[in-house]
Chains A and B, each alone.
Chain A
Amino acid sequence: MSGTEDLSMRLVELIQANVEREKNSQRLFDLHWRRVVSYFRGKGFSQEESKDLTQDTFLRVFKSIDSFRRDSSFEWWLKGIAESIYKNEIRKRRTEKRDGIEQPIDAPVSDGERPQSPVETLASSEPGPLEKAVDREQVGALRAGLQNLPEKMRQCCMLRYVQDLKYQEIADLMQLSIETVKAHLFQGRKRLATMLGATQRAGKKGEGAT
C-alpha cells in the first residue's frame, strides 16, 4: 500500500473507533478533496460543478463510513462512491433533457451529399473470397503465434495490438516499466513477423507443390 493509502486507513480506523471523529474526518477530507475534484473535472464538469459533486461524494462517505469494511483500500471505496455520484448526475441530466432536441456532436454538418468516410472507403474495397480465406488462415496463425510468446510478452502484445491500449496504460496495468513494455512489444513483433514469414513461405511452397 502507498503512504496515502496507509494514512487513509489509519484515519478511517480512528473515525470508526470514534477517536477525535471530526478532526480525523477533516484530515481525511483534506487528504482526498483535491483528488475527488480532479476526478469530476476529468469527467468534464466545471470547477464549481465538480466542487458540488465532491460535496455529495464526501457527504455519502461520512454518512456510511462506519459500514466501510476495510477489505479494499479506502481510496478504492471512495472512487466507487464518486463514480456512483457521477452516474447519478449523468442520469439526472439525461432525464432533464429528455424532452429536448438532441444533436450528436459528431453528426454530419453539410446538407448536401455526405462525403464517404475513410472507413467506408476501406469497406468498399472489400477483399475477394480467396483473399478472405488466406487472411483467415494467417490470422489463425497469428493467434497461435501470440499464444506461443512468453507470458508477459503475449499479455503486452494483446493489450497493445488487440485491445489498443497505450504504452503507459499497459505499464500501469501490468505493473511494468514503460521501457519493459516497449521491449516486450519490440521482441513480440519481431517473433510474430518471423513466424508469419515462415507460415507464408510454407503456404507458397504448398501452393507450388499442388
Chain B
Amino acid sequence: MTDEPIDPELDRLLGLLAEEERGEPDPVEHPGAATLSSYHARTLPPGEVSRVQEHLVACRQCRDQLLEYARFMGPASEETAGDVASFERAAEWRRLKERMREAEAAAPEPLPVKAADDRRRILRSLRTFQALAAALGALAIGLFLRDAYVQGRARVLPEQSIYFGATRSVQESKPTRVRPPVALRITPDADYPRYRVEIETASGQPKQTLEVAPDGLIEIPDGWSPGTYKIRVLGLKDGRAEPVGRAKELVVVR
C-alpha cells in the first residue's frame, strides 16, 4: 500500500512547518558543477552521495539545477520540439556554419601577403635558434638534475594553506588552487592531536591518505595531473575518526 493516509490535522501542521522552513535561506556552500554532474551520472562515491542528498533537501538552487538537468536530459518531447525532420537539422547546421564563418571573418584580420613573407623569413631565422635553444634546454635540465641531487630532501617547496572547520565557511566555499610541486599546510579549526587527510580524484578514486599533526604539511608533487580533487580532513582521537569541516575542492593547475 503506497497511498498517503488522510490526516487533516497532520496536513495542517505540516503546512505550518513548511511555512516556517520555506523562509530559511539556501545554504551558503554548494557542491560544484562537477559534483552535481557526477551525482546525476551516479558516479559519486556513496559517502559523497549522502552529502549531496542532504544538501538537496535544504537547497532550492541546487534542486532546481538538478531537476532542470534531468528534464534537459530526458527524452525530447514531440510536443515541445515539434516534428523535426533530419533535413531541418541539417539546414540548421549549415546556418550555424555560416554564422561561425561570419564570426571568424569579424575576428582580427589575417596577415597580408607581405607580412606573411616576413613571417616566413622570421621562421627561417628562428630555426637557427632552435639548435641553440635545444642546447640551452639540455644544459638547464642538467643543472636542474644536479641541483635536485645535491639538495635532495632539503629542497624547500612553496607553501599554501587550506582551512577546515565550521567557523571558516567563507574560505571553505572556494576551491583551493595549487600549482605543483607545493606543500599544503593543513590548518583545521578543531582540537585533535592528529588528523587524517584523504584526497580523492573527481571520480571518487582514492589518491592519497596520510596522517598529519595540526598545521602539518603534505606535499603535492609535480607528477599530479591537473584537475579537481576532493580533500577531506578527519580528526583522530581515541581510535575514532571524525570529519572536520566539509570536504574541499583542490584544483591542481599547471
Contact = CB atoms under 8 A, between A and B. Distances in A.
Interface in B57-104: 57, 60, 63, 66-73, 76-77, 80-82, 84, 89, 92-93, 95-97, 99-100, 103
Contact of A73 (B4, B41, B63): B41
B5 A62 contact: no
A42 B68 CA distance: 10
Nearest to B228: A71
A143 B17 contact: yes
Contact of B96 (A58, A135, A175): A58
Contact of A71 (B17, B34, B41, B54): B34
Interface string B1-26: 11111010110011011101110000
Interface string A1-39: 110110000000000000000100010011001110111
Nearest to B41: A1
B169 interface: no
For the residues of B in contact with A, the DSSP-based class is helix
A94 interface: no
A161 B7 contact: no
Nearest to B42: A175
Contacts, number: 157
B213 interface: no
A176 B237 CA distance: 37
B141 interface: no
Given A76-B69, A80-B33, A139 B13 contact: yes
B36 A189 contact: no
A29 B93 contact: yes
Interface stretch (A95-103, A105-113, A178-186): A178-186
Nearest to A146: B17
Contacts of A175: 42, 49
Contacts of B63: 163, 165, 173
Nearest to A4: B73
Interface residues of B, number: 59
Contact of B18 (A41, A162, A193): A162
Interface residues on A, range: 35 or more
B37 to A, nearest CB: 4
B14 A142 contact: yes
Contact of B17 (A76, A142, A189): A142
Contacts of B228: 71
Contacts of B89: 29-30, 33-34
B15 to A, nearest CB: 8
B91 to A, nearest CB: 10
A189 B5 contact: yes
B202 A71 contact: yes
A159 B10 CA distance: 16
B161 interface: no
Contacts of A73: 37, 40-41
A193 B72 contact: no
A162 B56 contact: no
A143 B71 CA distance: 32
A148 interface: no
A190 B66 contact: no
Interface in A166-207: 169, 172-175, 179, 182-183, 185-186, 189-190, 192-193, 196
A139 to B, nearest CB: 5
A55 B95 contact: yes
A172 B16 CA distance: 26
A151 interface: yes
Given A72-B37, A162-B14, A186 B4 contact: yes
A85 interface: no
Nearest to A186: B2
Contact of B100 (A62, A77, A179): A62
A38 B81 contact: yes
A192 B43 CA distance: 34
A146 to B, nearest CB: 8
13 contacts: A2-B73, A4-B73, A29-B92, A30-B89, A39-B72, A71-B34, A151-B50, A161-B17, A163-B63, A165-B63, A173-B66, A175-B42, A183-B2
Given A55-B99, A155-B56, 10 more contacts: A4-B73, A29-B89, A38-B77, A42-B71, A47-B82, A72-B37, A155-B57, A159-B57, A175-B42, A193-B5
